[in-house]
């Protein structure tokens, strides 16, 4: 069985679009800047973060399960659009960089789900582009079809920019959103997984937990995130049946974690 439990994902994978030049407001910058200074990370901790990221980014992006063609919807199912996806209007209420990077991870997953339901993909691209501009980060790019290589590039760029913490925040948000979407319609979405992808998903969570635990000492927002995600630490499925069972049992905790992510 693969070591540990689950949690990072994706995120982030993060779709993310090239960004422009809107600067974050001074108030936001002051709130975020006191939380994290990458230069303070001890060398041995940074080495572990890099090692974990190498493994994490070698796995298939978490949100990729919604784009592998295994989820097929009938005409009737297509009419019932999912009401549980993140409301794009809420991005205007996000003030902290931490919140905005988490939103990128959430939208990376939701955009794929929306595509399955033949919803307006342009709305997601526009929302991601807006956040990318707000965070003023050239590493943020929107790709409709992202890969593990895109994640590796994003990690390297964020490390270079001194924003390594935001890679992990976005990734954590993508993992949680993936779990949340699965919990809302597990019978329909679980066919997207085979035993290998179910095991890799759990491994994502375990690797994410390792990184967040390391970073919590240096970033108050990450410490908060560790507390939010603590109830999900028991996820350790190594096959589809276990994943289905664990998501069913953890549905209330998953919903709570998702609600708190962007609070």
Categorise residue 184: left if φ over 0, alpha if ψ from -120 to 50, beta otherwise. alpha
Distance in angstroms (rounded) separating the CA atoms of residues 119 and 159: 34
pTM: 0.85
User: 169: closest CA among 89, 97, 254, 65?
Assistant: 97
Distance in angstroms (rounded) separating the CA atoms of residues 152 and 74: 36
Question: Where do we find the tokens 């991870």?
Answer: 105
- Give φ, ψ of 184 to 5 degrees: -80, -25
β-bridge partners, 11: 13
Q: 22: how many CB neighbours lie within 10 A of its CB? A: 12
**In the chain, alpha helices (H):** 26-33, 43-56, 75-79, 97-116, 121-135, 148-160, 164-184, 186-189, 195-215, 220-229, 240-261
Per-residue pLDDT of the chain (263 residues; tens, 9 = 90+): 433 333 333 333 333 323 333 344 444 544 454 468 999 999 999 999 999 999 999 888 887 788 778 898 999 999 999 999 999 999 999 999 999 999 999 999 999 999 999 998 889 989 998 999 999 988 887 666 667 788 899 999 999 999 999 999 999 999 999 999 999 999 999 988 999 999 999 999 999 999 999 999 999 999 999 999 998 888 999 999 999 999 999 999 999 999 999 88
């Amino acid at each position: 069985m693969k070591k540990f439990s689950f949690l990072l994902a994706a995120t982030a994978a993060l779709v993310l679009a090239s960004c422009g030049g809107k600067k974050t407001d001074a108030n936001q910058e002051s709130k975020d800047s006191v939380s994290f200074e990458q230069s303070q990370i001890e060398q041995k901790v940074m080495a572990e973060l890099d090692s974990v990221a190498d493994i994490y980014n070698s796995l298939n992006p978490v949100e990729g399960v919604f784009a592998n063609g295994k989820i097929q919807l009938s005409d009737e199912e297509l009419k019932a659009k999912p009401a549980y996806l993140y409301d794009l209007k809420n991005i205007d209420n996000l003030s902290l960089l931490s919140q905005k990077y988490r939103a990128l991870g959430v939208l990376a997953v939701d955009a794929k789900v929306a595509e399955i339901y033949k919803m307006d993909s342009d709305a997601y691209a526009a929302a991601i582009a807006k956040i990318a501009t707000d965070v003023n980060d050239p590493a943020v790019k929107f790709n409709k079809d992202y890969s593990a290589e895109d994640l590796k590039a994003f990690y390297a760029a964020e490390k270079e920019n001194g924003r390594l913490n935001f890679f992990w925040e976005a990734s954590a948000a993508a993992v949680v959103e993936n779990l949340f979407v699965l919990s809302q319609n597990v019978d329909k979405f679980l066919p997207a997984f085979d035993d290998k992808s179910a095991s890799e998903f759990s491994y994502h969570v375990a690797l994410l937990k390792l990184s967040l635990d390391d970073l919590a000492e240096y970033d108050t927002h990450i410490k908060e995130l560790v507390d939010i995600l603590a109830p999900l630490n028991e996820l350790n499925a190594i096959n589809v049946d276990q994943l289905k069972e664990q998501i069913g049992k953890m549905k209330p905790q998953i919903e709570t974690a998702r609600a708190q992510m962007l609070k």
